[in-house]
Amino acid sequence: MRQPLKDQVQQLLSLADVQVNGSRPWDIKVHNDQLYRRVISQGSLGLGEAYMDRWWSAENLEEFFYRVLVANLKEKVGKDWRMLLHLAVTVLLNLQNRSRAYNIGKRHYDIGNDLYQAMLDQRMVYTCAYWKNAKTLDAAQEAKLDLVCRKVGLKEGQRVLDIGCGWGSFAKFAAQNYGVEVVGITVSKEQVKLGTHLCKGLPIELRLQDYRDVHEKFDHVVSLGMFEHVGYKNYRTYMKIVRRCLKDEGLFLLQTIGGNESVRATDPWFDKYIFPDGMLPSSKQISASTEGVLIQEDVHNFGYDYHSTLMAWYDNFKGHRSLLQKHYDERFFRMWEFYLLSSAALFRARRAQLWQIVFSPQGVPGGYPSIR
């Protein structure tokens, strides 16, 4: 006799020491019994949409996700035809080609500057902070920006390309503290609009531009948190363009979230609601894309710092809820909460990494001195 769906879910969750309608903070409360069928048939997509629909809840959502990830429950839930179709599409098509390059800007970064101003630090840095000697989000983000500047050896008067510049946080910090000129490119109209205002009066130009359309030379190139949108079919093209834009004596710093395994598609829920066409590169994929193009000088993994960063963003998001309710409904709040807390758990469980990798075109004479 076939095991009831509820029993199947309870048995799976027990592997992560999670109970249905239990009393501990990480136990889930089920508000709609259709949840079990939805999760078994649709996996993470069904789990996320059910949370958005208020079918279930947990007092400590981040701890719930952490336990599920450590127990590797995702691999124990079957994939329905929609997930298989999504994987097939990503393999057959180049979802990050020129014609689709601006989709992520429209669907994620353009949803509202007010949201990001409320959630992020005072500089509006939307990438992992560096918490080594910092106790606040503002201090940790400044430490990260300064770390990037020191790693590429910025000198006054140099010209830098920032691929995926966001609201100009790196550009502004580098111009103010190191006396450099910065060209930043992004696929978000809202980032260019607000970022240009924030960087007013500085030698900074922010452009609405795809990386494939840059044809200039720079002393250095940096890219913080943009490579996750490039797609595995374009990794090598991306690296060749960086090399084309980089002077022979310059350095390229890539900061990216990384996966522990090579993949060709992202999580279906994240693809649908948060980062359309996004994809986490593996170290193998990055190395293959740079072979014969750039020389890897230094790798720095501080992925656990992303857990602290995401939890700080969540605290800010939650603290500004009353203000944000004017423009965002309850379903959006639950979607964004699911995004931030599941991501935080992902880094805490070490299922994702954060790499800063320094590359040179021809090798640094005498070797590159690792900077931390």
CA atoms within 13 A on the CB side of 356: 24
How far is 24 from 329, CA to CA, in rounded Å?
Answer: 28
- The count of other CB atoms within 10 Å of the CB of residue 326 is 7
- In this prediction, residues 286-305 reach a mean pLDDT of 98
Percentage of residues of the chain with pLDDT beyond 70:
92
Q: How would DSSP label each residue in 244-284?
A: HHEEEEEEEEEEEEEESS--SS--HHHHHHT-TT--PPBHH
Q: How confident is the model at residue 354 (pLDDT cuts 50, 70, 90)?
A: very high
Average pLDDT, the chain: 92
Q: How far is Cα 201 from Cα 101, in angstroms, rounded to an integer? A: 29
* Nearest one of 140, 245, 138, 122 to 185, comparing CA atoms: 245
Structure tokens at 120: 């992020």
pLDDT in tens, 15-67: 999 999 999 999 999 999 999 999 888 888 999 999 999 999 999 999 999 99
What's the rounded mean pLDDT across residues 207-229?
A: 97
What are φ and ψ of residue 336, in 5° steps? -70, -35
In the chain, where the domains are located: 5-78, 98-360
Between 148 and 278, whose confidence is greater?
148
What pLDDT digit, counting tens, does each position of 66-121 carry? 999 999 887 665 554 444 444 444 444 444 555 556 878 898 999 999 999 999 99
User: What CATH superfamily classification does 98-360 receive?
Assistant: Vaccinia Virus protein VP39 (3.40.50.150)
The β-bridge relationship of strands 159-163 and 56-58 is unpaired
Q: pLDDT of 297-341, one tens digit each?
A: 999 999 999 999 999 999 999 999 999 999 999 999 999 999 999
| SS3 assignment, position 159 | strand
